A and B are shown apart, each in its own frame.
Chain A
Amino acid sequence: MSPRLTLSTTARVLGQLRHDRRSVGLLIGAPLLLLTLIYFMFEKNGATLDRVLLIMLGVFPFLLMFLVTSIAMLRERTSGTLERLFTTPLGKLDLLFAYGLAFGLAATVQAIVATTVAYWLLDLDTAGNGALVVLIAVGNALLGVGLGLLCSAFARTEFQAVQFLPIVVLPQILLSGLFVPRAEMAGWLEGVSTAMPLAHGVEALQQVGASVDATADLWRGYGVVMGCVVLALVLAASTLRRRTA
């Protein structure tokens, strides 16, 4: 890996994003719109509103970044630029970490805007600090980036890539504790949800909601998410083939 090549690739990905104003607008605007929708859905029930808003602040970045990254990586493959990059000194990990850095940065902006709006306009109330919410939301976004890159290695077309959404993303959201608290799930189901990285990110967010100080459980959840991010990136690098048929 070369930090110089990673950074120049990060700058390139961000440059592409900069040229695509509409995507940036959607990336920042879509979560706000959906959070507002949730606000009106649960307006009358403050406790539920806080719980759902908090979880969604962690789920949206995961979902959106998964989509954006798998399509971006696939575009790289179908346009022939990926094959071309493979004939240059750029390493696979340089490329993947550059995507992680670039979209992680985009996710940070997204999370700051969404969290600020949630606290100031949508009456979100947590015991813990809002900065922790942003930190965890960015971790979840990176998880989306990592899994998106990994899945795109198994997709040859955009058509295949979007099929990974219902398989990889939806189960994680269903079992994250959003609909049913994980402790109330059947034993085996709770086991399955423990194996899902997103559940740990949601767990960490719920810790921010319940405790004034950052708890050990919070850091454990965040640590699991970040560990999975690195694992997904390394796996993605090992499944990316320089030589193709």
Chain B
Amino acid sequence: MKTAIDVQDLVVARGGKEVLHGLCARVPHGGITGLLGPSGSGKTTLMRSIVGVQRVKSGRVTVLGEAAGTPSLRRKVGYFTQSPSVYTDMTVRENVRYFASFYGLGAAAADETIKEVGLQEQAGQIVRTLSGGQHNRASLACALVSRPELLILDEPTVGLDPVLREELWAHFRQLAADGATLVVSSHVMDEANRCDRLILIREGAVVADDTPDAIKKQAGTDDLDRAFLTLVQEKAEVA
């Protein structure tokens, strides 16, 4: 199995506090890998390290065969930040077209992506005037527009209604089917079941790294929430 992301002994401190303590993880090429863990467990820090904007203390992050943050990776990796980061004083269309321009893509690609996230009716609207969920999707469109080989999505479905969440997951599935690798963070276990693989992290360390079924089997339960708790407890007993 080809590796898309390889994280070795990653140590990161933020605000004087160590967040990741020698974390090791591997994301296979293709499919959707869920990054799950409670808030504050280090999910965002790990994702920032993968896209190369996090200052790291030690360890190695290899993305698509190159060191994270290598300039050539910026064409291949799309990043969706947890708090939507688009220009709120511009329209949805202007935002997506701007991000499309970095990859030599034109208006057609931007309009297509806007349709995919279901914002065609709001395309001409200033982002500031959108609802929270729409704002989020405008930001998502900017990450999707370049059709990156690797997509790092930090809690992309937060604040979305069930219908939209379903649509977006169907879209993520489609992207994976087309050959992209997706890493999706969430703290909602219900979303974990939709992933091909899961990395469960807690307090900056990996608790489990396997398929959802294997994790459930290992913990002897059908419920991922329960499985997560069981694995955390087992880990605590070993330590």
Give me the interface of A with B, judged by CB distance under 8 Å. Answer: 4-5, 8-9, 12, 15-16, 19-20, 79-81, 83-84, 86-90, 241-245
Q: Which residues of A contact B126 (CB under 8 A)?
A: 19
Q: Are A89 and B74 in contact (CB under 8 A)?
A: yes
Q: Which 6 A-B residue pairs are closest in the complex by CB-CB distance?
A: A80-B85, A8-B101, A87-B79, A243-B55, A88-B102, A87-B51
Contacts A16-B89, A87-B74, A242-B53 given; does A80 touch B81 at CB 8 Å: yes
Q: Which residues of B contact A81 (CB under 8 A)?
A: 85-87
The CA of A79 and the CA of B142, in the complex, are separated in Å by: 15
Q: Are A5 and B69 in contact (CB under 8 A)?
A: no
Q: Which residues of A contact B116 (CB under 8 A)?
A: none
Contacts A244-B54, A244-B55, A245-B55 given; does A89 touch B75 at CB 8 Å: yes
> Smallest CB-CB separation from B71: which chain A residue?
A89
- Looking at the assembled complex, report how far the CB atom of B182 sits from the nearest CB atom of chain A, in whole angstroms: 16
Contacts A12-B90, A243-B55, A245-B55 given; does A88 touch B15 at CB 8 Å: no
Q: How many A-B residue pairs have CB under 8 A?
A: 74
Q: Are A244 and B83 in contact (CB under 8 A)?
A: no
The CA of A83 and the CA of B44, in the complex, are separated in Å by: 13
Contacts A15-B94, A242-B69 given; does A88 touch B87 at CB 8 Å: no
Q: Which residues of A contact B15 (CB under 8 A)?
A: 245
The CA of A88 and the CA of B104, in the complex, are separated in Å by: 12
Query: With an 8 A cutoff between CB atoms, is B22 at the interface?
Result: no
Q: Which residues of A contact B94 (CB under 8 A)?
A: 12, 15
Query: With an 8 A cutoff between CB atoms, is B88 at the interface?
Result: yes
Point out the residue from A16, A89, A242 that lies within 8 Å of B52, measured CB to CB: A242
Query: With an 8 A cutoff between CB atoms, is B14 at the interface?
Result: yes
Q: Which residues of B contact A242 (CB under 8 A)?
A: 52-53, 69
Q: Are A90 and B85 in contact (CB under 8 A)?
A: no
Interface size class of B (residues with CB under 8 A): 20 to 34
Q: Which residues of B contact A8 (CB under 8 A)?
A: 98, 101-102
Name 6 extra pairs, CB < 8 A, besides A5-B102, A79-B85, A79-B87: A9-B98, A79-B88, A80-B84, A86-B53, A87-B77, A244-B53
Query: With an 8 A cutoff between CB atoms, is B195 at the interface?
Result: no
The CA of A5 and the CA of B84, in the complex, are separated in Å by: 22
- Looking at the assembled complex, report how far the CB atom of B58 sits from the nearest CB atom of chain A, in whole angstroms: 14
Q: Which residues of A contact B52 (CB under 8 A)?
A: 86-87, 242-243
> Smallest CB-CB separation from B83: which chain A residue?
A80
Q: Which residues of B contact A244 (CB under 8 A)?
A: 53-55
The CA of A16 and the CA of B142, in the complex, are separated in Å by: 17
- Looking at the assembled complex, report how far the CB atom of A56 sits from the nearest CB atom of chain B, in whole angstroms: 30
- Looking at the assembled complex, report how far the CB atom of A171 sits from the nearest CB atom of chain B, in whole angstroms: 33
The CA of A135 and the CA of B120, in the complex, are separated in Å by: 44
Q: Which residues of A contact B69 (CB under 8 A)?
A: 242-243
Point out the residue from B55, B71, B89 that lies within 8 Å of A19, measured CB to CB: B89
Q: Which residues of B contact A9 (CB under 8 A)?
A: 98
Q: Are A87 and B89 in contact (CB under 8 A)?
A: no
Contacts A8-B98, A242-B52 given; does A89 touch B103 at CB 8 Å: yes
Point out the residue from B53, B87, B104 that lies within 8 Å of A12, measured CB to CB: B87
- Looking at the assembled complex, report how far the CB atom of A47 sits from the nearest CB atom of chain B, in whole angstroms: 45
The CA of A244 and the CA of B15, in the complex, are separated in Å by: 11
The CA of A64 and the CA of B51, in the complex, are separated in Å by: 36
Q: Which residues of B contact A5 (CB under 8 A)?
A: 101-102
Q: Which residues of A contact B228 (CB under 8 A)?
A: none
Query: With an 8 A cutoff between CB atoms, is B160 at the interface?
Result: no
The CA of A4 and the CA of B54, in the complex, are separated in Å by: 27
The CA of A116 and the CA of B15, in the complex, are separated in Å by: 52
Query: With an 8 A cutoff between CB atoms, is B13 at the interface?
Result: yes
28 pairs across A/B with beta carbons < 8 Å? A8-B101, A12-B87, A12-B90, A16-B90, A19-B90, A20-B89, A79-B87, A79-B88, A80-B84, A80-B85, A83-B53, A83-B81, A84-B79, A84-B85, A84-B142, A86-B52, A87-B52, A87-B77, A88-B99, A89-B102, A90-B102, A242-B69, A243-B53, A243-B54, A243-B55, A243-B56, A244-B54, A245-B14
> Smallest CB-CB separation from A16: which chain B residue?
B89
Give the residues from 141 to 192 in chain B that come closer than 8 angstroms, CB to CB, to chain A.
142
The CA of A191 and the CA of B103, in the complex, are separated in Å by: 49
The CA of A84 and the CA of B142, in the complex, are separated in Å by: 10
> Smallest CB-CB separation from A76: which chain B residue?
B87
